[in-house]
Amino acid sequence: MLSKIRNLDYVILLCEDMVVMKNFYTSLLGFPIHRELEDWVEMQVGACLLTLRPRGRSYDDGKLSHSASVQLAFRVLPDEVDDWYRELQKKQAEILEAPRDWDYGHRTLFFRDPEGNILEIYADI
């Protein structure tokens, strides 16, 4: 049955502070809100929904403070990686690694969200 899965439709980030995380993803990164409920925020990112919900369900388990739970990679055009770098610096995002080219054909930029998740802006080069 798993071979019938064709798409990853949405990713859910479990959050300690929904207000801070919503502000980061909508204001700092500019992702538009698709739908918002009391404890659920969906943002449209290309063909995928990036969703925030509070941590706290019985099966969520704990999270180490400011440690990454996930790495999300967002693809852009090659000349946009450096534009994103300058914009993120202006907005005082926590940059982990400035733009660089890799032998495997990517130009990457790494930074963190407020809860420690690793975010990557990359382009095929």
Cα angle 86-99-77, degrees, rounded to a multiple of 5: 80
Give per-10-residue mean pLDDT for the chain (125 aa).
85 95 97 96 95 92 77 96 97 97 98 95 97
Using DSSP's 3-state secondary structure scheme, residue 72 falls into strand
| 47 CB-near residues (< 8 Å, 6+ apart) | 7
User: What pTM was estimated for this model as a whole?
Assistant: 0.90
Per the structure block, which two tokens stand in for 23?
């502000």
Per-residue confidence (pLDDT) for residue 66, from 0 to 100: 66
Per-residue confidence (pLDDT) for residue 3, from 0 to 100: 82
For the chain, state the CA radius of gyration. Answer: 15
**Domains and their CATH numbers in the chain:** 1-56 (3.10.180.10), 68-125 (3.10.180.10)
Per-residue confidence (pLDDT) for residue 44, from 0 to 100: 95
Per-residue confidence (pLDDT) for residue 6, from 0 to 100: 87
Which of 46, 54, 59, 55 has its CA nearest to residue 9? 46
Which alpha helices (H) appear in the chain, and where do they start and end?
18-23, 80-90
Cα separations in angstroms, 65 against 16, 62, 115 = 10, 9, 8
Per-residue confidence (pLDDT) for residue 68, from 0 to 100: 80
Task: State how far the Cα of 107 lies from the Cα of 91, in Å rounded to an integer.
Answer: 21
Amino acid (1-letter code) at residue 111: F
